[in-house]
Amino acid sequence: MTETYLDIMEDSLRKKIEVMQQIEIQNGIQKKALERPEGPDQDAFDEAVRVKGDLIGKVTELNDGFAGLYDKIKNELDDNKDKYRDQITRMQNLIRQVTDLSNTIEVQEVRNKKLIDSYFSNSKISVKSSKQSAAVSSDYRTTMNKSAGAQSHFVDSQS
């Protein structure tokens, strides 16, 4: 029975690697959507976020299933490490791959967050600049309207 659980756990790790590779792809799609010269592609970005949400749900399910099986056979593995050495070694290698993918995904997430922050920062600057320009324009118009009346009065009083 333990060997069957180990087979299932090994299969679970392989599926987790596949799902995490799909997350990597979605991170790349997000990056491309954010780096467009004409501005971010909001639809592509949103779709990648949606797909990633589904994939993360799958990773969570796989993690829960793996942990549940491990809890069932932990004592048996501890007591008979030599008997299951090959399967344990294969799973350790798969876990290393999962860890490497996790690190890569984390780096991609940080990069994409910086791209998003930069976009919003630039958008805020653009909005602030537009508001300032509108305010300056309004002040200028008001000043000019007042000065037009003052010049007229000055010219009239000197004549």
In the predicted structure, residue 17 carries a pLDDT above the cut 60 = yes
- Token pair for 115: 């791209």
Residue spans of the domains in the chain: they are 1-117
Distance in angstroms (rounded) separating the CA atoms of residues 95 and 104: 14
pLDDT band, residue 110 (cuts 50/70/90): very high
Question: Could you tell me the fold of the domain covering 1-117?
Answer: Methane Monooxygenase Hydroxylase; Chain G, domain 1 (1.20.58)
Per-residue confidence (pLDDT) for residue 145, from 0 to 100: 53
Single pTM value for the model: 0.74
pLDDT for 117-140, tens place per residue?
887 776 655 555 455 555 555 555
In the predicted structure, residue 83 carries a pLDDT above the cut 80 = yes
Closest CA to 120 of 128, 130, 131, 132: 128
Sign of CA dihedral 126, 130, 131, 133: positive
